[in-house]
Amino acid sequence: MIHDQIRSMLAAPPTGAKAPSLDEIEGALTVGYANALALEAELLQIERKLAQVAASLDAESKDPATAELATLGKRLSATDGDLAQLRTLLSSLRTRADEARTNVV
């Protein structure tokens, strides 16, 4: 998982033989940003579906719709948490990339 790869890079020394290369850092950033975009897309889909289900609530469909709302709410919370965590990691890794670029010059 990209979260683990980024954590590993952040835990490594910033310079020296055990430091990740700038190419490795930038590759992880690319994958991480792609994952963040996918999570954002999923959030939008869940939010749209949640709005549709909420709008369809009536006396006849209350029980199934309520169950679906609960499931969507849990997915929304989990995805939002994943996205927030990934953005924090990406910010830290971006700082590391900037430091690595400075060391290359």
Mean pLDDT of all residues in 16-28: 95
- Rounded-to-integer distance, Cα 93 and Cα 41, Å: 22
pLDDT tens track for 65-93? 777 887 888 888 889 999 999 999 999 99
Q: Does 26 have pLDDT greater than 60?
A: yes
Q: Helix (H, G, I), strand (E, B), or coil: what is residue 49? A: helix
- Rounded-to-integer distance, Cα 101 and Cα 105, Å: 7
Q: What is the mean pLDDT of the chain?
A: 88
* Global pTM value: 0.76
Vertex 5 angle, CA 92 and 25, to 5°: 55
Q: Provide CB contacts within 8 A for 35, sequence distance 6+.
A: 2, 86
